[in-house]
Amino acid sequence: MDGIALCRALKEDPETAFIPVVLLTARAATEDRLDGLGSGADDYLTKPVDVRELKARVENLIASRQRLRDLLAEPSRGDGALRATTIDAVSSDNAFLSAVRDAVERHLADETFSVERLAHEMGVSRAHLYRRLRDLDGRSPWEIIRTLRLERAAQLLEAGAGPVSEVAYAVGFKSVSHFSNAFTAHIGCRPSVYPEGA
């Protein structure tokens, strides 16, 4: 297959769709460029190419991914969502992160919800889920599950949805003391005084 067909195959496969692709080709016609970009390529360069330009474009792609990763790693407090929901979900990376968030939020109250079950719901292996979330978000799947549970707990406490024990069970914690310690470590104050003590 040619480069455009290879790029299309990579972008259509969920296991490889997140890999940045730069097409470097002798085809310089507008139609060729449109075909290349339409196949999902992140950039399209025609020969002859200045190696410095290629390097600059690759560095820009890496920097863009890092900015997205940093943005998504910012904790949200009290607004009910990860930062990913405020971004236009046009890339496969954003779509993947949104699907992870939605899957976790569907099972917040289920204390048995595990990384294995999350991987199963996402249709990927546990190892692939771990690698992809580390690349995109900087955290492990378990850290993301725990963070979403604690962020939802903060929202429930702020809204006065019930006592600490009910909130702990509502977000999948079996032990109120374990929940209290995890909440304090993540939010910075004990759940019994949240939000006034935050």
Same-domain check for residues 93 and 171 = yes
Domain stop point among 22, 54, 73: 73
What pLDDT, on the 0 to 100 scale, is given for residue 88?
47
pTM of the model: 0.55
Same-domain check for residues 42 and 63 = yes
Got the DSSP string for 129-141?
HHHHHHHHHSS-H
Q: Residue 12 is part of a domain; what is its CATH number?
A: 3.40.50.2300
What averages of pLDDT result for each successive group of 10 residues across the chain (198 residues)? 88 82 86 84 86 87 80 58 48 84 92 93 91 90 94 92 92 93 92 80
Q: Minimal CA–CA distance to 79: which of 16, 18, 155?
A: 155
- Which residue(s) pair with 43 in the sheet? 22
Q: Residue 110 is part of a domain; what is its CATH number?
A: 1.10.10.60
Same-domain check for residues 119 and 171 = yes
Domain stop point among 73, 97, 122: 73
CB neighbour list of residue 130: distance below 8 Å, 6 or more residues apart: 115, 140, 141
Same-domain check for residues 57 and 94 = no
**Contact call for residues 137 and 72 (beta carbons, < 8 A):** yes
Domain stop point among 51, 73, 95: 73
- Is residue 78 in a domain? no
- Is residue 24 in a domain? yes
Same-domain check for residues 147 and 176 = yes
Same-domain check for residues 121 and 171 = yes
Same-domain check for residues 55 and 28 = yes
Same-domain check for residues 133 and 166 = yes
Phi, psi torsion values for 104, nearest 5 degrees: -65, -45
Same-domain check for residues 22 and 91 = no
What pLDDT, on the 0 to 100 scale, is given for residue 87?
45
Domain hosting residue 25, numbered range: 3-73
- Give the number of domains in the chain: 2
